[in-house]
Amino acid sequence: MIIETKNLTKQYSGKGGCKGISLSVSEGRTFGFLGPNGAGKSTFVKTLLGLLKPTSGEAYLLGKPIGDIKVREKVGYLPELFRYHDFLTGEQLLKYHAELYGLGKSEYLPKIGGLIDLVGLTGKSEQKVGTYSKGMQQRIGLAIALVNDPKLLFLDEPTSALDPLGRKEVRDLMLDLKSQGITIFLNSHLLSEVEAVCDDIAIINNSELVIQDSLAALTQKEVHLEITLKDQLLALKQALRSYCQEVVEQEKKLNITLKDEKEITQILKVIIEHQGEILDIATKKKSLEDLFLACTQKKGN
Ligand SMILES: Nc1ncnc2c1ncn2[C@@H]1O[C@H](COP(=O)(O)OP(=O)(O)OP(=O)(O)O)[C@@H](O)[C@H]1O
């Protein structure tokens, strides 16, 4: 496991923060960490990065207890509330962070230009960061997070300041980094972004972990089928009940829940065998939004 925590707790004077979080992230995966505002996401990430001291519990990055200097050299971080040195140019800022990572000039100089291009700041590297727009500042932050060629990358709301085109570019960049085997820990409120790039997710609510699994397992198990028939057929409904997890009837509409989409063909066969005439059919898979709402509305949010 590249990240592993056991009952990790960080509270502020006994309140807020994150509580008793036990989760694990496998190497090479893109992990989405979700939760409502104030749920404890940033606290958890800052604790893993050694920016906050845990109140209790254990945490390991790359197999070593948090705080290990050698491990920090392999970790990249884009904070949620980024604020950089206004008086430096983009290029100077990147060089400064490369040196903070202990990289020698011969290591970092050849890659500065490539990083500037990668985050879409071509032609802007000589400009002072103080004159950058918020989106440009977030882009330079992303370049800083990549300057040490991290094995593990923490991105806290990496597209919050970007326009739709910029969001797509960063999404593609995340997919590219993933294809290079980099593990990404992504905090995001944009569920469509999480659905597009993440393999696994965890949802945190009121400081506590509610759920953790692969995105596919959490969102694609059940299929909901809504079928409108020309006539109500009692024998058909009875036959369907023996095949489906759940059949709810609303006049001529049947709302059917199946364990798997492979069962759709069988359902259609049963309807045809019973001379049922289908007027309309729609399928709906459980979305990440449904899951998020179910997990975060339970405890009174
Ligand atoms: N420095 C602090 N002092 C006191 N309480 C804090 C501090 N930082 C965070 N908290 C509290 O801890 C809880 C979790 O905050 P955190 O910033 O970790 O949430 P988050 O999930 O990242 O929220 P958001 O999605 O809004 O960024 C909140 O109740 C917050 O008020």
Residue minimizing CA distance to atom 14 of ligand 1: 40
Residue 125 has pLDDT above 80, yes or no: yes
Percent of the chain's residues with pLDDT above 70: 98
Residue 300 has pLDDT above 70, yes or no: no
169 three-class SS: helix
Residue minimizing CA distance to atom 9 of ligand 1: 17
Residue 232 has pLDDT above 80, yes or no: no
Q: Using a 6 Å cutoff on CB, does residue 226 contact ligand 1?
A: no
pLDDT tens-place string over residues 166-224: 888 889 889 989 999 999 999 998 998 999 999 999 999 999 999 999 988 887 667 88
Whole-prediction pTM:
0.82
Q: Band of the pLDDT at 20, cuts 50, 70, 90?
A: very high
- Quickly count: other Cβ atoms within 10 Å of residue 286's Cβ: 16
Q: Using a 6 Å cutoff on CB, does residue 51 contact ligand 1?
A: no
Does ipTM surpass 0.85 in this model? yes
Domains and CATH numbers, the chain: 3-217 (3.40.50.300), 222-285 (3.30.70.980)
Stretch 70-94: mean pLDDT, rounded? Answer: 90
CA 122 to ligand 1 center in whole angstroms: 35
Query: Among 104, 105, 51, which Cα is nearest to 75's?
Result: 51
Strand boundaries in the chain, DSSP class E: 3-12, 15-21, 24-25, 30-34, 56-61, 64-65, 75-78, 152-156, 183-187, 200-205, 208-214, 223-229, 246-250, 253-258, 278-285
Do 137 and 84 meet the contact criterion of CB atoms below 8 Å apart?
A: yes
Residue 245: predicted pLDDT: 72
Q: Band of the pLDDT at 17, cuts 50, 70, 90?
A: very high
Residue 27 has pLDDT above 70, yes or no: yes
CA 156 to ligand 1 center in whole angstroms: 13
Q: Using a 6 Å cutoff on CB, does residue 79 contact ligand 1?
A: no
Residue 286 has pLDDT above 80, yes or no: no
Q: Using a 6 Å cutoff on CB, does residue 16 contact ligand 1?
A: yes
Residue 289: predicted pLDDT: 86
Residue 160: predicted pLDDT: 87
Residue 87: predicted pLDDT: 94
Average pLDDT for the chain: 89
Residue 299: predicted pLDDT: 45
Stretch 243-260: mean pLDDT, rounded? Answer: 80
CA 17 to ligand 1 center in whole angstroms: 6
CA 109 to ligand 1 center in whole angstroms: 37
Residue 155: predicted pLDDT: 95
Residue minimizing CA distance to atom 24 of ligand 1: 37
Residue 298 has pLDDT above 70, yes or no: no
What is the distance, to the nearest Å, from the Cα of residue 191 to the centroid of all Cα atoms in its chain? 7
209 three-class SS: strand
pLDDT tens-place string over residues 172-183: 889 989 999 999
